[in-house]
Amino acid sequence: MTGVCGCCGALRPRYKRLVDNIFPEDPEDGLVKSNMEKLTFYALSAPEKLDRIGAYLSERLSRDVARHRYGYVCIAMEALDQLLMACHCQSINLFVESFLKMVRKLLESDKPSLQILGTNSFVKFANIEEDTPSYHRSYDFFVSRFSEMCHSSYEDPDIRTNIRMAGIRGLQGVVRKTVNDELQANIWDPQHMDKIVPSLLFNLQSEEGTESRSPSPLQASEKEKESPVELTERCFRELLGRAAFGNIKSAVTPVLMHLDNHSLWEGKSFAVRCFKIIMYSIQSQHSHLVIQQLLGHLDANSKNSATVRAGIVEVLLEAAAIAASGSVGPTVLEVFNTLLKQLRLSVDYELTGSYDGSTNIGTKIIKAHEERQLQEAVIRTIGSFANTLPTYQRSEVMLFIMGKIPVPGVSLTLPSSDSGPEVTRMIQIMLLKSLVQVTAGFQTTNMLTALPSSFLEPLLSFSLTEDPEIRLLVLEILLSLIDRHENRPKFSKISIVSDISVLKLKVDKCSRQDNLFMKKHGQQLYRHIYLNCKEESSAKEHYETLFALLGLLSVELANEEVVVDLIRLALALQDLALSTDEALPTYNRCAVHALAAAYLNLICQLTTVPAFCQHIHEVIEVRRKEKPHLLPEDVFVQKPKLPSSLDKVDGDVLFLQSKITEVLGGSGYNTERLATPYVPQYTDEDRLSKRKSIGETISIQMDVESRNSPEKKERTPAEEITFETLKNAIVDSVGMEEQERERRRQVVEKFQKAPFEEIAAHCGARATMLQSKLNQIFEITIRPPPSPSGTISSGYGQTQSRSVPIYEMKFPDLCVY
């Protein structure tokens, strides 16, 4: 009876008959559409039969695959796709299991056409939004299989490309199906991402091999025209775009590992391209997470080759440029700390020649030029990060970097124990170059808050060192900080400009904050300009930068008082060049003369005082005729024509302070201040310069003249102050401070707890004591007026003064102030 039922089609279940009817006798005829519509209607009418329909279709497909009847396989998959698209009932989960079983069967096949067919079906399924959740479905096989297809090495290049593109689309489908469903397998787990991301990067990297392949536009559809690289990039962007805050690390870590394993940092271009895709694809508020991972990876590769570290730094540079403003994240200083650490390590590696500070046999030898390239990349990256920060954060970064610059004998914290002065110098130069990058384009309205003393004073101290490169970097930093209206390029060359209107300078009225800044720090700036001109090692670049600094001070921060001080400074520079006490070479003397002339020519036109301008122009014309080597056009050239010595520089070729004071006094300027020659004040900042070496015992001779009587000419012996006396003075001062603090505490306690009568009596006693002291002072200071007899004798044989005490004398009202 069982055999009879099996042979009779009428006795078979209806769903099987409907499934059988969709298959034509000749598979080339394709799916029987009318019967497919009946099957679909039956499935919608009886959804409980859907799982059986799927199981039967799966059974037929497995049999057709085994018998190599690939036409019927395609028909079965087409039927499954249509049923999947039409049915969304609650029992679809069991049908989906049958469907995925059939897709798995196709993907396991060796035939590329079946693999591609199964992938296309899976992609259609991935685009369906299911109404009911699935608790037991697994996609591990599909992730592994699609990743394997992405690495296909099929002999035929066209088929290989089709298989790889099918694998990419399959991975895209897995991501779409699972990324937003919390009940599905977590696609962000390392076991999945370690397969998906490298597969995408492998195809993204194989651009050159696929560029030459171009399918015929008559035979290829739009998707087939898309190259594997374009499809991979689109899939990679979609994956990253779906990454939430907690998943960024899971997506980026495999990228870093892939670049490490295949040595792709050294080429730079592919690594940069990958991270450009990442930075543009993720949500902007997550950018700092990528940057932090790159910084951590840079730390982990601290002892790798310079080319690898330079590649990571280049990627950081591009990432910082793409990141939106402020996206460096909450740990701004950590970013700069890591970069500065790498800079110091690179300098140490370059000078020691190895990563472990030794030159033993077997240690990896370092190439100095590669380390230099790395250092330049780090400096550029620091500047790129700084450009994304607001002004207040950039000021913090400037202070942070300044605190990292080693000061000889004060704060020397270097990576290796045997670091010498050359390492210190190199680190100073590199960190100052970093400051140049950070301060580039710095804009602020309040100079006092943006440039506190804690930053400006150490910076100016470095301008006193004998190293010309360090001095030049300090001047460049000052120019960037002061230039707020982009006037710096207009002072790039020292020259005598007859009409400064051609420079098109942007001049704004000096604000109150600017006035306060110059009142506080102006004298420091003038002093450092003066001392820089005294340096024998100063070259053309130094004088050009000093001229630009003087020009920017005149344009950006000058009020009437500042103008007077700058003119005094220029005249002091002229005196410096004339002085025989300073052992300046001839070139430096001519350069200082030319600098003073160029600046006075500029400032006289800014003040718009005709008589002042006339005097300056007259002196310049005399110099052109008689001594052209005192003008910038003959000094600041490649081959300056200079005399052997400057013995006779006087007369009409000099700017006269008396003349300038006279002409500016008529325009309301402070003549008394103008007539006073500028003399720089030497402070303890000179401890950083060559003038006073660290560790040297400084002896200061102090002459104390007795002033008790004008007739006494003798002087007390000079007091020698050495290190020991200074040390004792510091210890004593600490003890005195403690005593003073205790005395103040007792006074406050007394006034808080003592009765009113006691306090009143105490204050009265103090007032009486004060009055008695005043009377004694008046008696001492009062002297009798001269008289023929000098003194008179009283009745008691004592001499007494006939003068009236000063505080009792009557003065006219006009004499009383």
Q: How far apart (Å, rounded) are the C-alpha atoms in residues 462 and 688?
A: 7
* Structure-model confidence comparison of residues 356 and 503, the more confident one: 503
H/E run at residue 647: none
pLDDT band at 790 (very low <50, low <70, confident <90, very high): very low
74-83, 381-390, 468-477: which has the highest mean pLDDT? 468-477
447-473 tens-digit pLDDT: 888 788 889 999 998 888 889 999 999
Return the pLDDT at 417.
Answer: 40
Bridge-based pairing of strands 799-800 and 719-721 is unpaired
DSSP codes of every residue in 290-303: HHHHHHHHHHHTTT
Longest dimension (CA), the chain: 170
511-525 tens-digit pLDDT: 888 899 999 999 999
Return the pLDDT at 208.
Answer: 45
CB 200 within 8 A of CB 232: yes
Return the pLDDT at 640.
Answer: 87
Indicate left, alpha or beta for 573 from its phi (over 0: left) and psi (-120 to 50: alpha).
alpha
Return the pLDDT at 6.
Answer: 47
User: Would you give the end-to-end CA distance of the chain in angstroms?
Assistant: 139
Averaged pLDDT of the chain: 80
Question: How many residues are present in the chain?
Answer: 817
Contacts of 260 (CB under 8 A, 6+ apart): none
pLDDT band at 583 (very low <50, low <70, confident <90, very high): confident
Please report, for the chain, the start and end positions of each structural domain, with discontinuous segments joined by +. 247-356+365-389, 421-482, 483-685
Return the pLDDT at 792.
Answer: 42
Instruction: Quote the tokens at residue 635.
Output: 């000094």
Q: Which residue's entry shows tokens 């679909």? A: 40
Sign of CA dihedral 66, 70, 74, 79: negative
Average the pLDDT over 200-227 and give the result: 58
* Percent share of the chain, pLDDT over 90: 38
Average the pLDDT over 223-230 and give the result: 72
pLDDT band at 339 (very low <50, low <70, confident <90, very high): very high
pLDDT band at 812 (very low <50, low <70, confident <90, very high): low
H/E run at residue 779: helix 756-781
* Structure-model confidence comparison of residues 3 and 479, the more confident one: 479
Indicate left, alpha or beta for 745 from its phi (over 0: left) and psi (-120 to 50: alpha).
alpha
Average the pLDDT over 269-288 and give the result: 91
113-152 tens-digit pLDDT: 999 999 998 998 888 776 665 656 788 999 999 999 999 9
Instruction: Centre a 10 Å sphere on the Cβ of residue 726 and count the other Cβ atoms it contains.
Output: 13
641-668 tens-digit pLDDT: 888 877 778 888 999 999 999 999 888 8
Provide the whole-model pTM.
0.71
Instruction: Quote the tokens at residue 618.
Output: 């007259």
Least confident range from 211-225, 508-522, 696-710, 801-815: namely 696-710
Least confident range from 148-152, 190-194, 684-688, 714-718: namely 714-718
Return the pLDDT at 55.
Answer: 80
CB 201 within 8 A of CB 255: yes
* Percent share of the chain, pLDDT over 70: 79
Return the pLDDT at 1.
Answer: 41
For residue 742, is pLDDT > 90?
A: no
Least confident range from 304-313, 722-731, 762-771: namely 722-731
Closest CA to 679 of 575, 532, 546, 553: 575
CB 595 within 8 A of CB 534: no
Radius of gyration of the chain (CA): 44
536-574 tens-digit pLDDT: 999 999 999 999 999 999 999 889 999 999 999 999 999
